[in-house]
A and B are shown apart, each in its own frame.
Chain A
Amino acid sequence: MAGLMAGFGHYTHAVVRGVPASLAAEALRMTDAEVDLSKAQREHEAYVEVLRTKLGLEVVELPADESLPDCVFVEDAAVVCGDTALITRPGAESRRRETELMKGALKDLNLNLVEMTDENATLDGGDVLFTGREFFVGLSKRTNQRGAEILADAFKDYAVSTVPVLEGLHLKSFCSMGGPGLIVIGSSEPAQKTLKIMQQMSDHRYDKLTVPDDLAANCIYMNLPNKGHVLLHCTPEQYPESAKVFDKLKDHMLIPVCNKEKVKVDGALTCCSVLINKKANI
C-alpha cells in the first residue's frame, strides 16, 4: 500500500507540448541566440519519443500555441506531486496563458488541482526542486515568496524551503535530482552556494554529483518498473566533461538526450515535460 513519500521517481504519465514556430523568434531568452526551429522541433520529437517508447510512459501531448512561444516548456505551468497539481502563475507575463491547456490536461488525469490565483504570486515550475522528501523553491526573477507560500499550502506534507537563485533563470537551471537523495549540481560558484543553502536548510542528507557545466546539471531522474534508475541527461557532444561525470553512475540506465537548440531559449531537459504518477495515488 502506498504511503506518504513512497516511490520517488515513479512516473506513469508525461505531459508535453509541441514546439510553436514562434519559438525561434519570440521565445524569451537570456542570451541572443539564434534558434533553428526545425532542429528544435526534431530535438523535441526525439525527447518525446524517449519518454514514450524507450521509457513506456503514457504521453499526453498538448498542441502548440503560436501565441505562446514558450509553451513547449510545460514544466513552468504546473507542479505535480502525488495526486496534487498546482497550476502556477508564471513569472513572465507572456506565459500566463500557458496554464490553461495544462489545467485541462491535468484535470483529465484526475489530479487534485490547486490554482495560484493570487495576483501577487508568481511561480515557475522550473524553480521548484522536489527531492522526494521536501521542496526547495528558488526565489528568482520568475518566482517570488508569495508563490512559494502557495506552493507550501498546496503540498502541506512537505517542508518547503526557499533558496535564492543568484544566477541563471531558474533554480533547476543548475541543479536537479539524479536519484533518491542525490542532487546533481553545477560547479559554478552561485550553484555551489545555493547547494550549501539547501543542505543547511534540510533535515535530510543529500549526496551530490557535481558537474562542470551548470546547465548539464539539469537532468531527469525516474524510477521505473523493470528499468530501475533511469537518468536522462546531456549528451557528450553538448557537455563532454559533464557527460563523463554522468557516466560514473553505474546503477543508472543512462539516456543522453540532445537539448542543443532548446537550451538557447533557456529550455533544459526538465522543462519540457510534467511527469505524473497515477499509480501512486492512494
Chain B
Amino acid sequence: MTTEVGSETEVKEKAEESAAQPDQSEKAEEETEEIANAEGEEKEKEKEKEKDGKEGKGISRYLPTWLKKQKSLSQTSPTKEVPATEEAVNKVTQDEEGPTPEVNGHAEEVEEKEAEKSEQVTEKEAESHSNASADTEPAKEEKVEESPKKSPEEAKETTEGEGAEEQKKEQEGEAEGVEEGEGEGQASIFQSPLRLVRKTKMKLVVCQVSLLDGTDFTCEVEKRAKGQYLFFKVCEHLNLLEKDYFGLTYTDSHEQKCWLDPTKEIKRQIRSNNWQFAFNVKFYPPDPSLLTEDITRYLLCLQLREDVASGRLPCSFVTHALLGSYTLQAEFGDYEPDQPRPLDYVSQRTFAPNQNKEMEEKILELHKSHRGMTPAQADTQFLENAKKLSMYGVDLHHAKDSEGVDIMLGVCANGLLVYKDRLRINRFAWPKILKISYKRNNFYIKIRPGETEQFESTVGFKLQNHRSAKRLWKVCVENHSFFRLNAPEPPPKARFLTLGSKFRYSGRTQAQTRVASSLIDRPAPNFERTSSKRISRSLDGAPMISITEAGRDTAENGRELHSDSKTPTLKLKEVDLSPGDAEATPTQSPGDSELAPSQDHDKTQDEVLKHQASISQLKRSFMEAPPPSPPQPNQWEKRLTSSPATTIRVQQQQVTTEVEIEETVVVQEVSKAPKPGLVTVTISSPPEEHTREQEVKVGEEVEVAVEAKAVKQESVSSESESEEEAEYHPNVSVSFSNTQIPEEKEEEEEVEQEKKEEEKTSEQDTSAPDAPALPVEVSQPVETTIREGEEDTGAEKKNAEEEQGGVTEESTDDPMLTPEEAPNGLTLPEESVTMTAEAEEEPKMNGEASLVEAEPRPQVICCSEPPVVKTEMVTISDTFAAQKTEIATKEVPIVHTETKTITYEAAQLDGNGDGEPGVLMTAQTITSESLCTTTTTHITKTLKGGLSETRIEKRIVITGDCDIDHDEALAQAIKEAKEQHPDMSVTRVVVHKETELAEEED
C-alpha cells in the first residue's frame, strides 16, 4: 500500500502533461478532472504544503488508500509541475492501460453518484467537495500527524518513487535496503493501481484474502481499485518479492475460480459483492531451485501441499509419504524420539486425500531419515520431488472434443495437454500452436502444419459455456506468454488505436522475473513456517464450524468502511474500522494480527486453526474441479482420428542405419527494421546426410493487400461477433498477436470502437505468420482468405526469387500506421528495433538454438563464418524519410546482416556434402496473410561404406515486418525440422538475418 504514491504522482503528472499536449486526446478527460480536483482541494494543499513539498509522497504512503488519493491530488502543487512534465513525456507510452479503465471508472462513478450524472465537470466539482467534507478527512489528518516520524526513510523512497519508471526495476533491489522498502520496490515495478482510482469518492471495501498458510489477510481497498493494488498489498504483507509466479483468485457467480486481472478494476471482475480472494500460485516454476528466495519456495510448498492433500496434484502412496515427511521436517525440524505419541501429530495433518495409518507411519519413518535438514532444505527437497509429478503445474479444464467425448485440457508451461480420464491422449507444445482462439463456447487451436501438409489444421474443443472457453483461452495466453516469451507482448496501443479491453498477459515473463530475482539483494527475510495443521481432517465437523460459517457469511459481503462493521476475523470479534480509528490500516488491524502466522503454533489458537481449516476446506471445494466423467472406452477408436496418430506427419524419406542422422538447419533471418521485416530462416545441409532448404518469407506486401479487405470485412464480422471471442497467436510475440475481448457492458461508443478494433484484429489476423487459411475464423469470409492466398503467392514468388528485393517496395505503405502515430511513433520504434536486432539477436540466437537443440548428445557448438547464405542488398527507396535515413545510416547499417552458424558435431562419419549436387526434393511455398514462407528442401543421398546417408538442407526464408520475433522464428524452424525428421540430428544452424530500412511513407 505504501508504494503506489510515486506512480500515482506520475499519473497526475501525465494528466497535467496532457493538458500541455492536447493531441493526446485520451488524456483530455483526466486533465479536466485533475484541474477540478486540484481546485477543490486548495485548502488541503495549503494545510499540508510544507510537508508535501518534501515528504508529501512519503507520508502519504503510510496512509490508507482513500487518503492517499487526496494526498496525491495535493501534490499537484506548482512546485512539482515542471519535473512532472518532463517525466510525463517519457511515460506517455507506458501509460497503456490508463485511459480505458478510467473511462470505466467514470461510468461507475456516475452510477454511484445520484445527482451528478451528466457532465463531468459538475461531477468533479461535486467530488472535490465531498472530499473536503468527507468524514475520512479527520482520519487523514491524524495520519499525517503520525507520519513525520518516519520521514527520513520516506523521503528516500519518495525520490525513488519520483524517479523514472524505467529504473524502477532496479530500485526494487535498492529499496530493500531501506527499511520497509520492499513493498515499495515491488510495487513500483508496476504501474500504480491507484491511478485508476483517482476519483475522490472514498468508498472503501474490505477485502479478504485467504493466504496459502490458511490465514486470512484483510485489507481495505477503494472500490474501484485495480487487481494489482490488492495483489501488491498481499505480497507486501507476505514480504514476497518474487511474486510473478503468484496471483489472486476469486470465485465468480458460477462457482468458478478465476484469476483476478491485475490491470482491471476488481469490482468489475468479481461482479458481486463478494470481496473474497485467495492468494495462489499462478505459474508453477518448472524448476523451483531457480527461485532466488526461500520464502518464495516456501509459499510454493504451501500451495503444493494443499494441491497434494486435496488430490488436485495426484501422487502415489510413496510420494505422499515422502512429501509429507519433508513437510514435517520443514515445520517441526528433526524427528523427536522423545515425542510421546508421534503418530498423533502426524495424523492431525492432512497429507493425502486418502490418508491412513500406514501412510502416517511411513511419513514418520521417512521423517526420521531427514535428521539435520534445515527447513529450507526440506522445502527444496519437497519441491524437487513435487516438480517431477506429471500433473505439476497443469491447470485442468473440462471440455469435450469434436466427437462430444469428455476430456480434460491441461495448460502448462510446455503447452496444452489433452487428457481423457487419467490418460494423456494428446499434447500440443506451444511451438506447435499457431493460434489460440475461442468463440462462444468453442476453443480452437491452430496447429502448425507438418512436413507433408501444406496447411495447418485446427482442433476445436467444446467448453461448457463461453465463460469457460474464455477462461481457458486466457490461461493459455498467460501461460504461453509467461513461459515462452522473453517479454510480454507489447501492448496493442503501441501500434493500434485501442479501445475496449484487450486481454494479454500483463506481468513479467518467467525470463524477466528470473532476471529480476537475480537482482534481489536483501538478507533472507525471516518468516515462520506455519503448521500444516490447518488442513487437518480431524477437525471436520467440529462445533467451531458453524460459527465459522456464520463469520464467513458476514464476510462474504464486502463492507464499506463507513459502516462500522465487523471485520471477518475468525472469532467474529468486532473491530471498529471507522476512519477515525488510527489502527484501522489493514496491516495493523487487530483482526489481522490475530491471524498472524506466528501465532499458529500456539495451542490456544486451536479454534482459530480449526476455523482456518474449514475455510481452506471450503476454498478447496470451490476450486476443485468436478470429478472426471466415467470412462468411455468405446470412444477411443473415435478419438484416434483426432489423436496424434493422424496429427503427426510422417515424412520418412531416409532409411538410415546410422545411430543418428544429421540434419543441418540453417536459419536465415532477414528483417526489415522499420515496419516491414524479412526473416529468412535457412536450414542448410550438414556435412553428412540431409540437405534441406526451407525458405520462409513473410512479406509486407501481403499485408497491404489483405488489409484493404480486412477493412471491408470488418462490418460483417463485427456484427457476427456479438459473442465474445478472441484470438491469440502464441508463436508471434508481436503486437498483432494481441487479442481483444470486447467489454461486456458496451455503450454505443464502445461498440463503435470495437468495430474498429475488429478491423484491427482482422488485420492482425491476416498479418499472422504461417496462417494461410483460417478455417476456424468464422468471421472471415472464405473468399477473402482465398484472395489473400492468391495475392500472397504472387508476392511470395517474388520473394523466393529475388529474396527481399520485392519486399522493400511493398513496405512503402504501412497499413498499421494511423496518421497521428506516424510522425512520432515511427522514428523511435524504428531505431530501437534496428538496434535491438543488432544487439540482441546474437546472444538470443545462441540461447534459443541451444535450447531448442536440447539433444542430449554431446555436441560442439561453434560459430563460424557465413555459410550458405545468399546475401542480397536491399534497395532503399527514395521516398524514405530524410530524418530516418539519417538516423539509420549513422547509427545502423542500412542492410544489417547477421549470420550465425552453429555446428553440432556428433559422433558420425565425416560426410562431404559439398561435392554432392543435391537433389531438390521440394520447394514449397506457404503463404499466409502477411507472412510468406518458402521452403526449399534438398535431399542428398550418398552411399558410404555400405551406409546410406541422407542429408537434408532446409532453407527457410521468412519475410515479414519487424514484428516477427526472430528468436521465435528460429526456434520454430529448428523445432519443426526436428519434428519432421526426428531421427536426424541438426548439425548446423545458420542464421542469416538482414535488417533493412525500408522506405516509409510519411
The yes or no verdict on A and B being binding partners is yes
User: Is B659 in contact with chain A by the CB < 8 A criterion?
Assistant: yes
Determine if A156 is an interface residue (Cβ-Cβ < 8 Å): yes
Query: Which residues of A sit under 8 angstroms from B421, Cβ to Cβ?
Result: 149, 152
Instruction: Give bound CA distance, A195 to B856, whole Å.
Output: 18
Contact B640 A209 (CB under 8 A): no
Q: B647's closest neighbor in chain A, by CB?
A: A200
Interface bits A233-271 vs B (CB < 8 Å: 1, else 0): 000000001001100100000000000000000000000
> Which of B107-115, B293-301, B314-322 touches A?
B314-322
Segment among A60-68, A102-110, A158-166 that sits at the interface with chain B:
A158-166
> B512: CB under 8 A from chain A?
no
The residue from A152, A196, A282 contacting B423, defined by CB atoms under 8 A apart: A152
List residues of B (374-415) whose CB comes within 8 Å of A's CBs.
381, 384-385, 388-391, 412, 414
CB atoms of B856 and A181 under 8 A apart: yes
Residues 5-22 of chain B, each 1 if its beta carbon lies under 8 Å from chain A, else 0? 000000000000000000
- B879: chain A residues at CB < 8 Å are none
Q: How far apart are B309's CB and chain A's nearest CB, in angstroms? A: 14
> In the complex, what's the smallest C-beta–C-beta distance from B580 to chain A, in angstroms?
56
Contact A205 B854 (CB under 8 A): yes
Q: If A156-B315, A164-B640, A189-B650 touch, does A120 touch B983 (CB 8 Å cutoff)?
A: no
Report if A94 contacts B (CB, 8 A): no
With A83-B318, A195-B982 in contact, do A159 and B424 touch (Cβ < 8 Å)?
A: yes
Q: Mark B350-383, 1 if CB is under 8 A from A, else 0.
A: 0000000000000000100110000000000100
Q: Flag B653-673 by CB within 8 Å of A: 1 or 0 each.
A: 001110110000000000000
Q: Is there contact, CB below 8 Å, between B423 and A148?
A: yes
Interface residues of A in 201-250 (CB under 8 A from B): 201-203, 205, 207-210, 212, 241, 244-245, 248
- CB-CB < 8 A to B856: which residues of A? 181, 205, 207
B side interface size, CB within 8 A: 52
Residues on A with C-beta less than 8 A from B652 are: 189, 192
The interface centre, meaning the residue of A112, A134, A153, A201 with most chain B CB atoms within 10 A of its CB, is A201
Is there contact, CB below 8 Å, between A207 and B650? no
Q: Tell me the complex Cα distance, A195–B317, Å.
A: 31
A193 and B385: CB pair below 8 A?
no
Q: A160 touches which one: B422, B636, B979 (CB < 8 A)?
A: B422
Per-residue contact bits, chain A 1-35, to B (CB 8 Å; 1 contact, 0 not): 10111000000000000000000000000000000
Decide: B427 and A144 in contact? CB cutoff 8 A: no
The 8 Å CB contact of A164, one of B321, B645, B650, is B645
Chain B residues, Cβ within 8 Å of A77: none
Q: List the A side residues contacting B660 at CB < 8 Å.
A: 207
Closest approach, in angstroms, between the C-beta of A143 and any C-beta of chain B?
11
Do A112 and B648 form a contact, CB below 8 Å, given A145-B636, A149-B422, A205-B854? no
Q: Which residues of A contact B388 (CB under 8 A)?
A: 4-5, 133, 157
Once the chains are docked, how many angstroms separate the CA of A145 from the CA of B388? 24
Report the Cα distance A210→B657, complex, angstroms. 7
Q: Does B426 contact A (CB under 8 A)?
A: yes
Contact residues of B: prevailing secondary structure: loop
Q: Is B543 an interface residue (CB 8 A)?
A: no
Q: Nearest chain B CB to A153's CB is how many angstroms away?
A: 6
Chain B, Cβ-Cβ closest to A3: B385
Nearest chain B residue, comparing its CB with the CB of A193: B650
B633 touching A144, Cβ below 8 Å: yes
Residues in B300-330 with C-beta less than 8 Å from chain A: 314-319, 321-322
For residue B585, CB closer than 8 A to chain A, the reply is no
A3 near B426: Cβ-Cβ < 8 Å? no
Q: How many residues of A contact B (CB 8 A)?
A: 56
> Hey, what's the 0/1 contact readout for A184-199 against B, CB within 8 Å counting as 1?
0001010011011101
Would you call B422 and A161 a contact (CB within 8 A)?
Answer: no
Q: Is B857 an interface residue (CB 8 A)?
A: yes
A200–B656 touching, CB < 8 Å: no
Q: Are B322 and A157 in contact (CB under 8 A)?
A: no
A155 lies within 8 A of chain B by Cβ? yes
Asked if A41 CB lies within 8 Å of chain B CBs, one says no
CB distance from B419 to the nearest CB of A (A): 9
Interface flag for B847 (CB, 8 Å):
no
Assess whether B148 is interfacial by the CB under 8 Å rule: no
User: In the complex the two chains form, is A158's CB within 8 Å of B390's CB?
Assistant: yes
User: Is B855 an interface residue when CB atoms closer than 8 A count as contact?
Assistant: yes
User: For the complex, what is the distance from the CA of A120 to the CA of B422, rounded to whole Å?
Assistant: 16
Quick one: which of A82, A144, A197, A207 contacts B648, CB cutoff 8 A?
A197
Could you say which residues of chain B place their CB within 8 Å of the CB of A209?
Answer: 659
User: Is the CB–CB distance between B315 and A157 below 8 Å?
Assistant: yes
Given contacts A157-B316, A159-B390, A189-B650, contact A201 B423 (CB under 8 A): no
Question: Which residues of A have CB within 8 Å of B370?
Answer: 1
* A146 proximal to B (CB < 8 A): yes
A145 contacts B633, C-beta separation under 8 Å: yes
Are A145 and B414 in touch, CB under 8 angstroms? no
Looking across the interface, which residue of chain A has its beta carbon closest to that of B311? A156
B741 is an interface residue with CB less than 8 A from chain A? no
Please name all residues of chain A whose beta carbon is closer than 8 Å to the beta carbon of B855 when the two chains form the complex. 205, 207
A75–B69 Cα distance when bound, in Å, is 72
Closest Cβ–Cβ distance, residue A200 to chain B (whole Å) = 5
Return the contact of A161 from the options B317, B425, B650 (Cβ within 8 A).
Answer: B425
* A144 CB, nearest partner CB in chain B, Å: 6
Q: Is the CB of A201 within 8 A of B317?
A: no
Chain A residues, Cβ within 8 Å of B893: none
Asked if B643 is at the interface of the complex by the 8 Å CB criterion, the answer is yes
Give the shortest distance, in Å, between A241 (CB) and chain B (any CB).
7
Which chain A positions have C-beta within 8 A of B655?
187
Asked if B631 is at the interface of the complex by the 8 Å CB criterion, the answer is yes
Chain B residue numbers with a CB within 8 Å of A207 are: 660, 855-857
Instruction: Give Cα A74 to B660, complex, Å.
Output: 33
**List of B residues within 8 angstroms of A145 by Cβ:** 420, 423, 631, 633, 636
| 8 Å CB contact of A82 from B316, B369, B656 | B316
| CA gap between A82 and B426 in the complex, in Å | 26
Mark B566-588 against chain A: 1 for CB-CB distance below 8 A, else 0. Answer: 00000000000000000000000
How many angstroms from the CA of A107 to the CA of B322 in the assembled complex? 22
User: Shortest beta-carbon distance, B289 to chain A, in Å?
Assistant: 13
User: Which listed residue (B389, B427, B636, B854) contacts A200, Cβ 8 A?
Assistant: B427
Instruction: Mark contacts of A133-150 with chain B using CB atoms, 8 A cut-off: 1 yes-contact digit, 0 otherwise.
Output: 110010100001110110
Q: Check B422–A192 contact: CB distance below 8 A.
A: no
Contacts of B633 in A (CB 8 A): 120, 144-146
CB distance from B977 to the nearest CB of A (A): 14
Residues of B within 8 A of A4 (CB): 318-319, 322, 385, 388-389
B644 at the interface (CB under 8 A from A): yes
- Once A139-B636, A161-B424, A202-B427 are accepted as A-B contacts, the answer to whether A196 and B390 lie under 8 Å apart by CB is no
Contacting residues, chain A, for B389 (C-beta < 8 A): 4, 157
Q: Which of B260-276 contact A (CB under 8 A)?
A: none
Taking CB atoms, residues of chain B closer than 8 Å to A161 are 423-425, 427
Of the residues A196, A201, A281, contact of B427 by C-beta under 8 Å: A201
Contact B318 A201 (CB under 8 A): no
Please state if A192 and B983 are interface contacts (CB–CB under 8 Å): yes
Q: Which of B979-1002 contact A (CB under 8 A)?
A: 979, 982-983
Instruction: State whether B422 touches A152 (Cβ < 8 A).
Output: yes
Output the nearest chain A residue to B394 by Cβ-Cβ distance: A159
User: Chain A nearest CB: distance from B88 CB in Å?
Assistant: 47
B429 partner residues in chain A, CB cutoff 8 A: 200
Query: Cβ of A245: which chain B residues have Cβ within 8 Å of it?
Result: 657, 659
Task: Please measure, in the bound complex, the distance between the C-alpha atom of A201 and the C-alpha atom of B429, giving whole angstroms.
Answer: 9
Are B318 and A196 within 8 A (Cβ)?
A: no
For the complex of A and B, list the 6 residue pairs with the smallest distance between their C-beta atoms, beginning with the closest. A159-B390, A152-B422, A161-B424, A156-B314, A197-B644, A4-B385
Sampled A-B contacts (6; CB under 8 Å): A156-B315, A161-B424, A181-B856, A187-B655, A196-B982, A207-B855
Q: Apart from A1-B369, A196-B982, what 11 extra A-B contacts exist at CB < 8 Å?
A: A144-B636, A156-B316, A157-B388, A163-B645, A192-B983, A207-B856, A210-B656, A210-B657, A245-B657, A282-B321, A282-B322
